[in-house]
């Protein structure tokens, strides 16, 4: 599972609101909703975020194993 906590932390640290980030990076409201829900988005969207903020993938996303998030949903 993907987490966008690093993106939100980056925005807080740099005094950028979520709305400003979305506009700076050219992200649609529907796609931003997916990001807020920690749903997967395309590499093209990640590229827009990185280019708009001047960061790398590791600065905006992190991998969270599914079992760490919800131990009852282990994949077999």
Domains and CATH numbers, the chain: 2-73 (1.10.260.40)
Q: Give the confidence band of 76 by pLDDT, cuts at 50, 70, 90.
A: very low
Per-residue pLDDT, 34: 96
Tens of pLDDT, residues 21-74? 999 999 999 999 999 999 999 999 999 999 999 999 999 999 998 875 555 554
Paired tokens of 7 = 């993106």
- What whole-number distance in Å separates Cα of residue 53 and Cα of residue 8? 12
């Amino acid at each position: 599972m993907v987490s966008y906590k690093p993106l939100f932390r980056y925005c807080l640290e740099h005094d950028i609101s979520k709305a400003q980030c979305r506009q700076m990076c050219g992200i649609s409201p529907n796609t931003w909703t997916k990001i807020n829900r920690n749903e997967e988005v395309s590499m093209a969207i990640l590229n827009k975020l990185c280019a708009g903020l001047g960061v790398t993938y590791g600065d905006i996303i992190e991998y969270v194993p599914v079992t760490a998030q919800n131990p009852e949903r282990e994949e077999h």
